[in-house]
Amino acid sequence: MLVVDGLKLYTRKELASMLNVGIATIMNYQKKGELRSVKIGKAIYSSEEALRDFLNGRIPELRDRNKAESK
């Protein structure tokens, strides 16, 4: 975990461990925009807030877009 100005940032490996999924699954969530992420140097991180939003399903724009595409 990296802390920048009090903001906790987690690597893909850390997120995969916390969620008990593979790193590829985390990469897919990030690529789809379901789990917000930021690149710092060569590493990609997701913030504690982004993780919380992901777990609470607070991605309304993506949900709405997926519903429209499935019709």
- SS3 assignment, position 64: helix
Interhelix angle 12-19/23-32, rounded to 10 degrees, is 110
What whole-number distance in Å separates Cα of residue 20 and Cα of residue 39? 22
DSSP element (H, E) containing 44 = strand 43-47
For 7-54, the pLDDT digits (tens) are 999 999 999 999 999 999 999 999 999 999 999 999 999 999 999 999
User: How many beta carbons lie within 10 A of that of residue 40, not counting itself?
Assistant: 11
pLDDT of residue 57: 87
CATH of the domain at 30: 1.10.10
Residue 63 is part of which domain span?
Answer: 2-70
Total of domains in the chain: 1
Structure tokens at 41: 């140097």
